[in-house]
């Protein structure tokens, strides 16, 4: 009968991306890590020692030679508990990169007694062994998947415990408050003094406000982790594909003077002031009898409907076209940035016809930085700067914060209404349970599986 993974197992996995490269690293962690390394590693040199006899945090040169058959020339790092990522004995084998060699090294380690690690199992052990809490574990995944410098900086702040510290401070104050309440419950003959009652209300209100403030950062967190979708829309030959190429910094979309060149949507991600932005280049919006172009126009409109922001591009070297005016009015209630392209040519478009537009030339690059500035301001609404990153909670943390805040506010309302202290304490315990979920002080196996399943192998 399969009882599932055991924390007593020694686990191993490739900790670097598979494929050809200069180096690959196979990581081993667990009680038998050094003994397994002894079986597969043959030290070279007169002063070399086997891994189990090596001091911690030392690197050794030799050969991976299970059963005496050389597989590769390697460097082996010995890391003894508890000063390791998992707080277990750990061995890392640096071998030559390449699918075949890396697979042979891993297979040798598994044949010597290790078990193939599940996704995220190394980080899960770091959490279970108390090296990091749950918010820091999630920050590891955020750091790995970060697509911009700003996203990486935010993840690093969280990995350093910035969110954990704030959550633990709130939780500690509520635990102390609950202890005072339970003392009064145990001794009902002693009424709560008016000033003590007021202080309790103030502490509950402060805790609820702090939880609300943390929860408000969920939007920023979503932007940093997932980015935003921006559809580049407009009439044919307005310069949409040229604008995409300019934003990306390289030629990605086909550009032609012939209208209607783009027949389908094209998506590419760019780093705009630290924001991951998925730009969607689209077919020009116009009436057409061409079936293929008509399908492209339909997809363009779908892209616009699903985008969080629209870049409406018009040709500033021509008078306002009725279709552009119709599109301007159609998107009046949507988040939109208006771009007046071809500003290097004599202007024909009246400013009043296309108000608040950013003048830009995809030929010279003029106006590009102004467009990026406007996009940044619109996304953040002035709330975030790279030098002062906020805590940016994820969806799971935001849900727990919402439930924690609701419990605290119920406790506050009950205390104000002179309800039984048992009801106040009950709501406070519910709030503490939700808050504890954020850092992992209260968890379920399903919750942990859901979080760590999102990690890659070897992390």
pLDDT in tens, 204-226: 999 999 999 999 888 888 888 88
Confidence band (pLDDT; 50, 70, 90) for 264? Answer: low
Residue 60 token pair: 């050794």
pLDDT, residue 256, reads 47
pLDDT, residue 111, reads 96
Tell me which residue of 327, 107, 157 sits closest to 238, measured CA to CA.
327
Confidence band (pLDDT; 50, 70, 90) for 383? Answer: very low
Report pLDDT digits (tens) over 170-191.
999 999 999 988 887 877 666 6
Largest CA distance in the chain: 88
Residue 250 has pLDDT above 60, yes or no: yes
Cβ contacts of residue 120 below 8 Å, gap of 6+? 141, 451, 452, 453, 454, 455, 456, 459
Residue 364 has pLDDT above 80, yes or no: yes
Q: Please say whether the beta carbons of 208 and 404 come within 8 A.
A: no
pLDDT averaged over the chain?
86
Tell me which residue of 259, 312, 248 sits closest to 284, measured CA to CA.
259
- The residue-averaged pLDDT of 267-290 equals 80
DSSP 172-210: HHHHHHHHHHHHHHH-TTSPPPHHHHHHHHHHHHHHHHH
Confidence band (pLDDT; 50, 70, 90) for 273? Answer: confident
pLDDT, residue 2, reads 40
Q: Please say whether the beta carbons of 308 and 230 come within 8 A.
A: yes
Residue 263 has pLDDT above 70, yes or no: no
Q: Is 453 exposed, middle or buried (0-12, 13-18, 19+ CB in 10 A)?
A: exposed
Q: At how many degrees (to 10) do helices 421-439 and 134-145 cross?
A: 40
pLDDT, residue 288, reads 65
pLDDT, residue 429, reads 94
Residue 140 token pair: 């590891």
Adjacent-strand bridge partners of 230: 279, 309
Confidence band (pLDDT; 50, 70, 90) for 253? Answer: low
Question: For residues 357 and 340, what is the distance between their CA atoms, to the nearest angstrom?
Answer: 6
The residue ranking higher by pLDDT, 45 or 36, is 36
Residue 3 has pLDDT above 70, yes or no: no
Residue 237 has pLDDT above 50, yes or no: yes
- The residue-averaged pLDDT of 36-51 equals 90
Residue 289 has pLDDT above 60, yes or no: no
Report pLDDT digits (tens) over 55-89.
999 999 999 999 889 999 999 999 999 999 999 99
Residue 382 has pLDDT above 50, yes or no: no
* Residue 272 DSSP code: E
Scored b (16 or more CB within 10 A) or e, 360-371 reads bbbeeeebbeeb
Q: Please say whether the beta carbons of 81 and 32 come within 8 A.
A: no
Q: Please say whether the beta carbons of 324 and 235 come within 8 A.
A: yes
pLDDT, residue 352, reads 87
- The residue-averaged pLDDT of 269-280 equals 88
Residue 418 has pLDDT above 60, yes or no: yes
Read off the pTM. 0.77
For the chain, domains (ranges, CATH) are: 11-117 (3.30.1360.120), 136-217+393-452 (1.20.120.430), 224-386 (3.40.50.300)
Residue 420 has pLDDT above 70, yes or no: yes
Residue 353 token pair: 């016809």
Confidence band (pLDDT; 50, 70, 90) for 239? Answer: confident
pLDDT, residue 1, reads 31
pLDDT, residue 50, reads 94
The residue ranking higher by pLDDT, 386 or 427, is 427
Q: Please say whether the beta carbons of 36 and 70 come within 8 A.
A: no
């Amino acid at each position: 009968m399969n009882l599932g993974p055991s924390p007593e197992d020694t686990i191993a996995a490739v900790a670097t991306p598979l494929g050809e490269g200069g180096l690959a690293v196979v990581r081993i962690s667990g009680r038998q890590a050094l003994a397994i390394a002894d079986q597969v590693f043959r030290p070279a040199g007169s002063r070399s020692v086997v891994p189990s006899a090596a001091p911690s945090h030392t690197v050794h040169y030799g050969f991976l030679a299970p059963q005496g058959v050389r597989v590769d020339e390697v460097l082996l790092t010995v890391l003894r508990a508890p000063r390791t990522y998992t707080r277990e004995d750990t061995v890392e084998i640096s071998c030559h990169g390449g699918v075949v060699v890396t697979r042979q090294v891993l297979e040798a380690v598994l044949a010597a007694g290790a078990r193939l690690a599940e996704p995220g199992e190394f980080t899960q052990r770091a959490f279970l062994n108390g090296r990091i809490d749950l918010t820091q574990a999630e920050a590891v995944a955020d750091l790995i998947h970060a697509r911009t410098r700003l996203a990486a900086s935010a993840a690093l702040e969280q990995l350093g415990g910035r969110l954990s510290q704030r959550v633990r401070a709130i939780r500690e104050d509520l635990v102390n408050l609950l202890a005072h309440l339970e003392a009064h419950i145990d001794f009902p003959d002693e009424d709560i003094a008016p000033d003590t009652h007021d202080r309790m209300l103030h502490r509950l209100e402060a805790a609820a406000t702090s939880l609300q403030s943390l929860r408000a950062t969920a939007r920023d967190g979503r932007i940093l982790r997932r980015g935003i979708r921006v559809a580049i829309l407009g009439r044919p030959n307005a310069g949409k594909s040229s604008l995409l190429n300019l934003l990306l910094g390289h030629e990605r979309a086909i550009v032609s003077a012939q209208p209607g060149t783009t027949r389908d949507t094209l998506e590419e991600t760019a780093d705009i002031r630290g924001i991951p932005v998925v730009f969607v280049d689209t077919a020009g919006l116009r009436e057409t009898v061409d079936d293929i172009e008509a399908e492209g126009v339909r997809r363009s409109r779908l892209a616009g409907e699903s985008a969080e922001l629209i870049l409406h591009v018009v040709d500033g070297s021509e008078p306002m076209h009725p279709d552009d005016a119709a599109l301007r009015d159609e998107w009046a209630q949507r988040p939109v940035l208006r771009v007046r392209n071809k500003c290097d040519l004599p202007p024909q478009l009246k400013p009043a016809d296309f108000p608040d537009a950013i003048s830009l030339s995809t030929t010279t690059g003029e106006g590009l930085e102004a467009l990026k500035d406007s996009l940044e301001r619109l996304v953040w609404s002035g709330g975030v700067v790279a030098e002062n990153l906020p805590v940016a909670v994820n969806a799971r943390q935001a849900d727990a914060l919402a439930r924690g805040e609701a419990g605290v506010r119920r406790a506050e309302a009950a205390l104000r209404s002179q309800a039984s202290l048992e009801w106040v304490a009950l709501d406070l315990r519910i709030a503490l349970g939700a808050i504890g979920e954020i850092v992992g002080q209260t968890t379920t196996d399903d919750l942990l599986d859901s979080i760590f399943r999102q990690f890659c192998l070897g992390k």
